[in-house]
């Protein structure tokens, strides 16, 4: 069974490669080189298979249509930034939807139950919300360092900054996140 899947994969790669216009093959190459890292990062940000697939597809769609099909100067940086922006947009949309639903539920229930206190999933969503609120340069570093688990040198290469600057940005981001998470916790108490 595994051998069949592998052979189908080889056939698919051949068919896709043969049907893609020569000027667009660099996109397939970028997908093969950076796709797995990007999926790992998206999983850590989104934690949902469907959202990861949507963000992945959206990223490569934008790559294929970048300035009329031109190749970006720094493909990896473009891919990771586009993917993280897509993920953050999805998180913001998800959080807005949850707020809308929670206010509708709260209107039905005047008394909150002890079971609605902070649990692990609520804490995770709060952290994702706070990360989404960070300024872009800090959010990018947090996303690439803590979610994609890239080194500071790799982050610097992707974002066009030094490794030391990436460390400073992460430190600032962590300080902001700590303050915001504390405020969110106090709101719930």
pLDDT tens per residue across span 45-76:
888 888 888 899 888 888 888 887 778 888 88
* Structural domains in the chain (count): 1
Residue 141 forms part of a structural domain: yes
How far apart, in whole angstroms, are the C-alpha atoms of residue 78 and residue 160? 11
| Nearest by Cα to 82 from 27, 164, 130 | 27
Q: Confidence band (pLDDT; 50, 70, 90) for 169?
A: very high
> What pLDDT, on the 0 to 100 scale, is given for residue 189?
65
How far apart, in whole angstroms, are the C-alpha atoms of residue 90 and residue 131? 13
123 vs 77, more confident: 77
Residue 172, pLDDT > 90, answer yes
- Note whether 84 and 45 are within 8 A (CB): yes
Is this structure's pTM higher than 0.85? no
Residue 153 forms part of a structural domain: yes
Residue 28 forms part of a structural domain: no
Residue 1, pLDDT > 60, answer no
> What pLDDT, on the 0 to 100 scale, is given for residue 136?
92
Q: Which domain holds residue 178?
A: 119-189
Half-sphere exposure of 141 (CA within 13 A, CB side): 22
Residue 135 forms part of a structural domain: yes
What share of the chain in percent tops pLDDT 90? 20
Residue 137 forms part of a structural domain: yes
How far apart, in whole angstroms, are the C-alpha atoms of residue 29 and residue 17? 10
Residue 77 forms part of a structural domain: no
Residue 151 forms part of a structural domain: yes
Residue 171 forms part of a structural domain: yes
pLDDT tens per residue across span 120-134:
777 788 888 888 899
CATH number at residue 178: 1.10.10.10
């Amino acid at each position: 069974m595994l051998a069949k899947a592998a052979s189908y994969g080889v056939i698919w790669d051949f068919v896709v490669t043969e049907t893609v216009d020569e000027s667009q093959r660099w996109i397939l190459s970028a997908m093969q080189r950076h796709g797995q890292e990007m999926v790992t990062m998206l999983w850590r940000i989104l934690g949902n298979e469907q959202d990861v697939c949507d963000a992945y597809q959206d990223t490569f769609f934008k790559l294929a249509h970048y300035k009329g099909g031109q190749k970006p100067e720094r493909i990896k940086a473009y891919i990771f930034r586009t993917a993280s922006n897509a993920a953050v947009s999805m998180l913001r949309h998800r959080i807005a939807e949850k707020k809308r639903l929670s206010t509708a539920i709260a209107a039905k229930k005047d008394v909150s139950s002890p079971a609605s206190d902070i649990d692990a999933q609520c804490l995770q969503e709060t952290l994702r919300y706070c990360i989404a609120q960070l300024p872009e340069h800090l959010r990018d570093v947090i996303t690439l360092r803590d979610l994609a688990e890239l080194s500071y040198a790799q982050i610097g290469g992707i974002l066009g900054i030094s490794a030391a600057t990436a460390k400073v940005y992460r430190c600032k981001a962590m300080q902001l996140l700590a303050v915001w998470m504390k405020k969110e916790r106090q709101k719930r108490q």
